[in-house]
């Protein structure tokens, strides 16, 4: 079985790519980081395609290349995303950058939709395997539900991913394609691990149980469970150790 993982060069995407490859999938990694992406692809015996998920032509070409190498992909895991921290009105009185807000929406929400829709368009022509053709797993964030001060762009983008999960699942049901979203809490990703150790420790202590940061392998655990359970569809699953984010 073939699979595609966006943002597969590092973090949640890399752990997912490793897991799927270990389970026998032929994995294509889509990422902007060519050095890490090619290294990870070599490590798991997969294919790497460098692209920006907001570039429709590049996404179409990468999907075609992945299919030529591995056959029709039955699994898509969307992990590509960027973060941003900016108040609506800063302490200097300046409003939030519209360009930065737009970029976060473009990558996290529209990029997810571009890859998902182009992936699905190729998959609908394939024969079903058992009772389904395949599954799409998107990545949101608990920020979609309890975003903190300064996370307006990120929360909006991830809230959009959550909001489109059910309607897309209903839309693609006729084609026997499932759509599920994972909303991780505080995980060991490059974005978070760039913070000072003391800050990371303080963040970990906010998680009720287990009081630590999530491991990317635990995200991959859930991906594996979703792939294997046909009744999981149209749902957003929080993976957060019961964390509810404070305002700041």
> Mean pLDDT score of the chain, rounded to an integer?
96
Pick from 179, 173, 176, 138: nearest CA to 159 = 138
- β pairing state of 26-31 and 177-184: unpaired
Q: Which two tokens stand for residue 82?
A: 């960027």
Can you tell me the distance from the alpha carbon of 248 to that of 243, in angstroms, rounded to the nearest whole number? Answer: 14
Distances (CA, A) of 116 to 84, 143, 168, 208, 209: 23, 21, 10, 34, 33
State the DSSP H helix or E strand holding residue 61, giving kind and residue range, or none if neither: helix 56-70
Q: Give residues with Cβ within 8 angstroms of 203, minimum separation 6.
A: 186, 192, 195, 213
Can you tell me the distance from the alpha carbon of 17 to that of 161, in angstroms, rounded to the nearest whole number? Answer: 21
Bridge-partner residues for 137, per DSSP?
A: 77, 180
Q: How many other CB atoms are there within 10 angstroms of residue 240's CB atom?
A: 20
Catalytic residues: 154
Bridge-partner residues for 4, per DSSP?
A: 28, 76
Spatial contact of 203 and 186, defined as CB atoms under 8 Å apart: yes
More confident residue, 196 or 165: 165
For residues 13-25, average pLDDT = 98
Place of tokens 């302490």: 91
Please give the full DSSP string across 162-210, using - where no structure is assigned.
HHHHHHHHHHHGGGTEEEEEEEE-SB--HHHHTS-HHHHHHHHHTSSSS
What's the pLDDT at 137? 98
- Sketch out the chain's domains with CATH numbers: 2-239 (3.40.50.720)
pLDDT tens sequence across 44-87: 999 999 999 999 999 999 999 999 999 999 999 999 999 989 99
Q: What's the predicted TM-score (pTM) here?
A: 0.96
State the DSSP H helix or E strand holding residue 112, giving kind and residue range, or none if neither: helix 111-123
Spatial contact of 29 and 8, defined as CB atoms under 8 Å apart: yes
What's the pLDDT at 209? 97
pLDDT tens sequence across 166-219: 999 999 999 999 999 999 999 998 878 877 888 888 889 999 999 999 999 999
């Amino acid at each position: 079985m073939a699979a595609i993982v966006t943002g597969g060069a590092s973090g949640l995407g890399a752990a997912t790519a490793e897991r799927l490859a270990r389970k026998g999938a032929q994995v294509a990694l889509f990422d902007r980081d060519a050095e890490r992406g090619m290294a990870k692809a070599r490590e798991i015996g997969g294919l790497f395609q460098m692209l920006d998920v907001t570039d429709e032509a590049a996404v179409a070409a990468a999907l075609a290349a992945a299919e030529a190498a591995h056959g029709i992909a039955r699994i898509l895991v969307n992990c590509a995303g960027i973060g941003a921290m900016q108040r609506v009105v800063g302490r200097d009185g300046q409003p939030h950058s519209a360009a930065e807000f737009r970029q976060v929406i473009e990558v996290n929400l529209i990029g997810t939709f571009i890859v998902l829709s182009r992936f699905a368009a190729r998959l609908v022509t394939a024969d079903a395997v058992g009772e389904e053709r395949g599954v799409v797993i998107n990545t949101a964030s608990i920020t979609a539900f309890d975003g903190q001060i300064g996370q307006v762009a990120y929360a909006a983008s991830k809230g959009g991913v959550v909001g489109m999960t059910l309607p897309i699942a209903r839309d693609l049901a006729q084609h026997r394609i499932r759509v599920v979203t994972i909303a991780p809490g505080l995980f060991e990703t490059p974005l978070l691990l760039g913070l000072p150790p003391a800050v990371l420790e303080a963040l970990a202590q906010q998680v009720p149980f287990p009081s630590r940061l999530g491991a990317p392998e635990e995200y991959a655990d859930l991906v594996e469970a979703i792939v294997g359970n046909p009744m999981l569809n149209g749902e957003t699953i929080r993976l957060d150790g019961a964390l509810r984010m404070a305002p700041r």
